[in-house]
Structure formats: C-alpha cells, structure tokens
Amino acid sequence: MGLVDTYTINYTNGNTATFTVTNGANGTNGTNGTNGTDGKGIVSISKTATSGNVDTYTITYTNGDTTTFEVTNGTNGTNGTNGTNGTDGISVSSAAVNASGHLIITLSNGNSLDAGVVKGADGTSIIIKDELPSSSDLPSTGQTMGDCYIINGHLWVYTNSSDPSAVNGFIDAGNLQGPAGNGISSITKTGTSGLIDTYTITFTNGTSTTFTVTNGANGTNGTDGQDGAPG
C-alpha cells in the first residue's frame, strides 16, 4: 500500500509468513531539491543451502543487498506396521475323467467341480458288405451305420445322409485305389568319359533320369618277388 510492498512466503507445510519492503518516496519539488533515494525491491528468492531438516533461502534485492531466512521441514514419519497375512488360496489337487466322460476337478479345500463332458462317444466303425455293379443296387432297407459297398473302385458308406448326392443314405467316400505308381523299367550304362560312367534309369511312365559313377584309377604294379632258395 503506497510505498510499502508486502510479500508472502508459502512453506511446504502449509504455513505462511509475510514481510514488507518500503520503497523510498519521491522528493518534493523544491528549489534545486535533491532526488529521493531509490526504492529497494526483490529480485529473487532461492534455496541456497540445506542442513538436516533446515533449508536456507536467500532474498536478493534490486540494490544488490541480500538477506536469508530458514525453513525447518518436518521429519519423516515412522514406518507403518506390517499388514496381516492373506487367506490361503484354493488350488487344484487332482483332475480325472469319470466313466461318463466328465472332467472332475478336485480342489484343495475338498470341493470338486464338474467341468463337463470332455470325452466324446466312440466312433462308428465301417463294415465292407459287398461289391456292387452300380449305386442303384445299394440297399434301401436294413442298412446300419457304417455299412459299406464297393462300386467301380469307390467306397460307398451308409451315414443316413440326406444330401442330394446320397443314395439310400449312402455317400461316395471316394476312390479306394490310388493312381498307378511310377516304377523302374531298366537301369543301363549309357556313357563313359575317363573314369566316369553314366547310367540311365528308365521309368514305367516313359520318363528317365541319369546318374554318374566315378571309378577308381588303376593301381600301380607291385614290386617283383624275391627268388626262392635253391632246392
């Protein structure tokens, strides 16, 4: 207010303090009156030292003067007490599939859980009943799941299918016989170059391939044997 500036210092613990700075008043106009002295403001407030819990702050004024003040920080609080142990968790003791195909899980607390069916029913086997000339000869009554007939090399299986391609509930499962294999008709030597012989393999489908055999070089002659002793 007027020539007096008030400053507030806020501490980390929530406390505050104030101080004032009185600026110099302007001199009155007189005959050849002298100017009033310059006012003194604050340039900065900074922490300049720490000792234990005590921090030292330095106030720097506009005229170059400085002053210090101290702030005592609170000590660290004591450690809290240890928390109580949590209750034991529940683990799996065992797991087994029963006669009904259900997975039964036994827990460590004695309880058990039924996880449902995990084992499917046994599959149906197939029985080849006969060989028929045509699909129109497949039986329309008395057939059971898995009955099979061979027709022109194809396996027809009874699945009670209602598919448009099915005949009396039988479906064509495909050809029983795979394509003809590619055998070897002959292996013949068809060329020689130095120590290397070339052989040609001819397959039953008419194709051929070649491979080479490198022969060892002739060995050197052995040394003459010694003469026998006189008779």
- Residue in the block written with tokens 């006669």: 99
Per-residue pLDDT, averaged over 169-186, amounts to: 82
Q: Which residues contact 207 (CB under 8 A, 6 or more apart)?
A: 182
pLDDT at 109 over 70: yes
Tokens matching residue 135 = 């699909």
pLDDT at 124 over 70: no
pLDDT at 219 over 90: no
Element containing residue 45 per DSSP (H, E): strand 42-51
pLDDT at residue 168 in the model: 93
Among 79-93, 127-141, 214-228, whose mean pLDDT is lowest?
214-228
pLDDT level of residue 151 (50, 70, 90 thresholds): very high
pLDDT at 19 over 80: yes
Length, in residues, of the chain: 231
pLDDT level of residue 33 (50, 70, 90 thresholds): low
pLDDT at residue 164 in the model: 92
Tokens matching residue 208 = 């051929």
Per-residue pLDDT, averaged over 119-132, amounts to: 79
Determine the Cα–Cα distance for residues 214 and 207; give it in Å rounded to an integer: 24
CA 180 to mean position of chain CA atoms: 46
DSSP state of 89: P
Element containing residue 22 per DSSP (H, E): strand 16-22
Per-residue pLDDT, averaged over 105-133, amounts to: 81
**3-state SS assignment for residue 212:** strand
pLDDT level of residue 52 (50, 70, 90 thresholds): confident
pLDDT at 148 over 70: yes
Contact 186, 202 (CB under 8 A): yes
pLDDT level of residue 231 (50, 70, 90 thresholds): low
Determine the Cα–Cα distance for residues 123 and 157; give it in Å rounded to an integer: 14
pLDDT at residue 121 in the model: 67
Per-residue pLDDT, averaged over 185-192, amounts to: 88
Per-residue pLDDT, averaged over 115-143, amounts to: 84
Determine the Cα–Cα distance for residues 108 and 103; give it in Å rounded to an integer: 16
Tell me the average pLDDT of the chain.
Answer: 84
Determine the Cα–Cα distance for residues 165 and 144; give it in Å rounded to an integer: 19
pLDDT at residue 172 in the model: 93
pLDDT at 30 over 80: no
The amino acid sitting at 152 is N
